[in-house]
Structure 1
């Protein structure tokens, strides 16, 4: 990422990290808002055969820092984490912001990245989210609170959930999706710092675009997207897949930005199949 953002942090932050399983390491990077725990849909499954490493990024979860920072600091932190855990090579899995950081790491540390699984992300991200009304915010607050108290309560889903901003994050209002929202999305949202939000939105307002640099990435990539994603559109994800030299594209109908929580088994099956077809990314 560009160095034009001002640095106010010095050195790497020691990230809180959740490590599961044994075997070839998979570094799993969450989105915004998010935390290492919000990737359990991936890590609980993949850790049966591999070692999953899911950090709380700087300013998220339990990785608390003081002062402003920029997006480049995340890369410094992640490189330091790999060094601390003595990981020479790893596969990257990134969701949304985590996918952007995965591509940045692959550009920064090509010799250490064996492959990428990119989820609901893009190297030139753009969205088509409608304007947010006060009713949207009201319904979202009520839906989130009731869902946190009583996860997957069907009355709440029908009465408030489908009228809330959740309707842009998911298309399939299933008990499974609402369970993930209650257990992982809400706590992650509450633990996301203002500095983390500022760092992300500063980069986006500056017109983040790494498409032309993707030709430098040679490792295999799996790019996954939801057709109705309003936060990072399916078109921008497809554009990224086309610029990557060695990528496989998978698009899921009737899903949105949180599609791994809508259709978890289908997504995990596709990831397993890709790993079987690309053994070099986990045997390097």
Structure 2
């Protein structure tokens, strides 16, 4: 069987120089959705932010499963000759980060897990047609005129964005306009199917987390309805050598709500654990 049937060559955004950091996006998402992290970290490190299979510019037509993402990522490390790297993952990206650490323990030096869990649980209320309508309107108007306060008040706060963010700031809406909406439009049905079949099979990696030896930083938004703060905390409690931090009055997209606070906490953790970036 030839190599290319096993993995796909992912579209990757590479920035900066230095120790490699692999940054993995959520669903829906793309490598660009991680600019809040990569623009900052690439000042000191080299960041690799791929579009996962079926997302962004990494087009994929047929069906695939979650393990295919891991094969793609392992191939990416080989392609760029990355022997060791730190992995940052947001939501689905965090699940893939933990899977990579279990699969390639000798190559993963540390984990930064953002709004994610090894046994994800949500607390999302039922979604109405009005939610979907307001979300569509808020998203489109915001795409045309990012951070417009009237749109935030009129549509944003009544839309599904009210479950994704708590602080309806123009900063958060700017990120949603530039990065969430285009990523959403580029997410393939196959990617959605792969994720939902994994969730329906009752994904749970908690019993295996003790195998992960590298330091980890787990960050969560206290009002997250997609992956609850409790399920993130449960993951943190199962990891060795883990630092846990949760942020009040924020939700699933908290890095876009309070970017400076989050980036400062990541910088402090990197300073405390220099081994994760290849320094003893």
Q: Please give the TM-score of this superposition, normalised by the length of structure 1.
A: 0.96
Residue equivalent to 1:47: 42
**Shift, 1:10, TM fit:** 2.8
Q: 2: distance between equivalents of 1:94 and 1:57?
A: 12
In 2, Cα distance between equivalents of 1:12 and 1:21:
26
- How many residue pairs get aligned? The number is 276
Aligned to 1:247: 242
- Matched residue of 1:117: which SS? strand
Q: Name the CA distance, whole Å, in 1 between partners of 2:16 and 2:240.
A: 31
Residue 237, structure 1, aligned to residue 215, structure 2: no
Alignment partners' CA distance in 1, 2:263 and 2:253: 14
Counterparts of 1:145-160 in structure 2, within 5 Å, are 145-160=140-155
Given candidates 71, 78, 96, the residue that maps to 1:76 is: 71
**Aligned partner of 1:282 among 270, 277, 280:** 277
Deviation at 1:87, TM superposition (A): 0.3
Distance in 1, matches of 2:18 and 2:225, equals: 36
Alignment of structure 1 residues 1-284 onto 2, 5 Å: 10-283=5-278
C-alpha deviations, 1:200-221, integer Å up to 9, x for none? 0000000000000000000000
Structure 2 unaligned blocks of 5 or more: none
**Aligned partners of 2:11, 2:58: CA distance in 1, in Å?**
5
**Structure 2 Cα separation of the partners of residues 19 and 149 of structure 1:** 28
Shift of 1:184: 0.1
Deviation of the 1:65 alpha carbon: 1.2
Q: Name stretches of at least 5 consecutive residues in structure 1 with no aligned partner.
A: 1-8
Aligned alpha-carbon RMSD (Å): 0.7
Deviation of 1:155 (Å):
0.3
Scaled by the length of structure 2, the TM-score of the pair is: 0.98
